[in-house]
Amino acid sequence: MNDQIRGADIVARTLDRAGMHQIFTLSGNHIMEIFDATIGTDINLTHVRQEGAAVLMAGAWGQLTSNVGIAIVTGGPGHTNAVAALCTPQASEMPMVLLSGHAPTSELGRGSFQELPQAEMAATVTKAAWMAESAHTVGHELALAIRIAASGRPGPVHLSLPSDVLEEIIDDTPDIWPEAADFLPNTRPLSDVAADAAIAAMEAAEQPIILVGPHLCTAPGRAAQRALEAKLGVPVVGMESPRGLNDPCLGAFAEELQKADLLVLLGKPLDFTLKFGDTPAIDADCQFVVIDPDIELIERATLSKGARLIHNAIADSMPAAKTLTERGRSVGNPDWCTAVYAAIDHRPDAWKNITGEEGALHALDFCRGVQSFLSSHPSHVLIMDGGEIGQWSQANLDNERRITNGVAGSIGAATPFALAARVAEQNDPVLTIMGDGTFGFHMAEFDTAVRNDIPFVAVVGNDACWNAEHQIQIRDYGENRAHGCELLPARYDKVVEAMGGHGELVTRAEDVAEAIERAYASGKPACVNVMIQSVAAPIVRRS
């Protein structure tokens, strides 16, 4: 006679057997069976203070580890909190699965407790979303969700878990368990013929550029970029900012992009970040090659550019980059490469002399102090979030392992990202930069960090303002019409201290680096609260 097992045990043991031992979660009625089922497994539940934080942590975990992150939340309002956060991992191409508790199938349509159309709600911000209907199949459905999240363009997937499916007791038979191969992503390689055609197109061009999306802006992705450029002699440029061509991290790149006669979009959507490929951002005669895992994005480029789209192929970004590198040869122009990277590296000379004053540092004072710390800790993970201070930081700071708030342009992810980064990296320092607006979204997660002994340093640029919106009001409507963006010059350092962390207040530029060093040395979750001026984000131009 077979042993019997609950649906919740199948969920927990499926994850355990797959080696997916780190879960970010928040408890709730619909998922308590899963909490119980994890006892006796190697699963670690990092429980948070708001469901959206669990989603963001799972996304960052997935990006940094190149695995699939797992978030588990309760149904109803817990699910809606989580869904609201999914737009960031979706746009940033972070592989993760959101598992949400759900009203029991036996009560659907009858007004069950917290009953909502959860899969339909999540479908707009995920690669796939559905509801499990049986304990017999839930293990296989979980494996499928993980596979989809990691396949093609990585991203979030949602699976709702009704409480009666979790409570259902069935015979423990071999057919209920997925095989190891069931979790593996489907991979679409770039064919040799398609790779050769793309390389030939670049060889025929005078000034080609390869543009890549967020998936190739990870640490492995950056390595792939360098290898590809070294082999082809063609500039490879990553784009992962909602500011697109105005991303200050890209310096004056927009000026050189206008001169390109061929753009190879390698997993990079033709969208608002590229001004849709229209003039004057892109030359009217510029041709396109599109290599993408999503046929819909190839069709979009085809409709938009017509005959100027001279070649396309369906392939995953990382394998495609590898194939192009393996089959490549030098087809570029060294002078063109030099010009493109000189534009990207350009920062105005005037920035060297800009400073603020005591009690109101300039964003550049802030960045110089942060850079001083980072230079002495080369193994760090860098996270940058926020409006204007986030843009100044991205323009002046960089790191191989970094996460930004991404193409979605939604702020607030910095603290959850930092927590996940510290759990993933374990021993390496994690530094996150954010504005005071960002800090407020998930400040309670410092409680999570203290409870779980997860040290990291948050450096907050505090201008007591929703500055990005304030700058829009000033620019578009005039100073006399700026309102509704004021915040308090709050002592966020004291908030973190009250939760058991370490706090530092900084009002002088020369104190920034030492304050960060003390925060790091404390071994605690820490906040360095830096009082800054409200200045607009930089737009880098050479003329």
Domain identity same for 277 and 301: yes
Backbone angles phi, psi at 18, to 5 degrees: -80, 0
153: DSSP letter: S
Q: How far does the chain reach from its first CA to its final CA, in angstroms?
A: 80
Domain boundary among 183, 215, 232: 183
Strands 156-162 and 128-131, how do they pair?
A: parallel
Helix (H, G, I), strand (E, B) or coil at 400: coil
- 3-class secondary-structure state, position 465: strand
Give the pairing type, strands 169-171 and 4-6: antiparallel
pLDDT on residue 295:
95
The answer to whether residue 1 scores a pLDDT higher than 70 is no
Same domain as 329, residue 405 = no
- Name the CA radius of gyration of the chain, rounded: 24
Which of 320, 345, 370 terminates a domain? The answer is 345
Region 242-259 average pLDDT: 92
pLDDT in tens, 491-509: 999 999 999 999 999 999 9
Domain that holds residue 499: 349-531
Q: Domain check: are 299 and 421 in the same one? A: no
User: 395 with 248: CB under 8 angstroms?
Assistant: yes
Largest CA distance in the chain: 80
b/e sequence 456-493, b meaning 16+ C-beta within 10 Å: bbbbbbbbbbbbbebbebbeeeeeeebeebebeebebb
Question: For position 428, which CATH number holds?
Answer: 3.40.50.970
Same-domain status, 456 and 410:
yes
Copy the structure tokens of residue 393: 């930081």
Task: Give residue 111's pLDDT.
Answer: 85
Bond into 429 cis (ω within 30): no
- Residue 282 reports pLDDT greater than 70: yes
Determine, yes or no, domain membership for 538: no
- The β-bridge partners of 128 are 157
State residue 402's pLDDT score: 86
Please write the tens of the pLDDT for every residue from 438-476.
999 999 999 999 999 999 999 999 999 988 888 889 899
Alpha carbons 235 and 406: distance in angstroms, whole number: 22
Q: Single out the residue in 129, 164, 183 at which a domain terminates.
A: 183
Structure tokens at 99: 């598992």
**411 with 488, same domain?**
yes
Sign of CA dihedral 463, 464, 467, 470: negative
Whether the per-residue pLDDT at 2 is higher than 80: the answer is: no
Residue 410 lies in a domain: yes
Classify residue 536: in a domain, yes or no.
Answer: no
Q: Which pair of structure tokens corresponds to residue 51?
A: 């469901």
Percent helix, percent strand, percent coil in the chain, to nearest 5: 45, 20, 35
Number of other residues whose CB lies within 10 A of the CB of residue 125: 22
pLDDT tens, 124-172? 999 999 999 999 999 999 999 999 999 999 999 999 999 999 999 999 9
d(CA 284, CA 389) in angstroms, rounded, equals: 35
Per-residue pLDDT tens digits for 310-342: 999 999 999 999 999 999 999 999 999 999 999
Of 397, 396, 487, the residue nearest 443 (C-alpha): 487
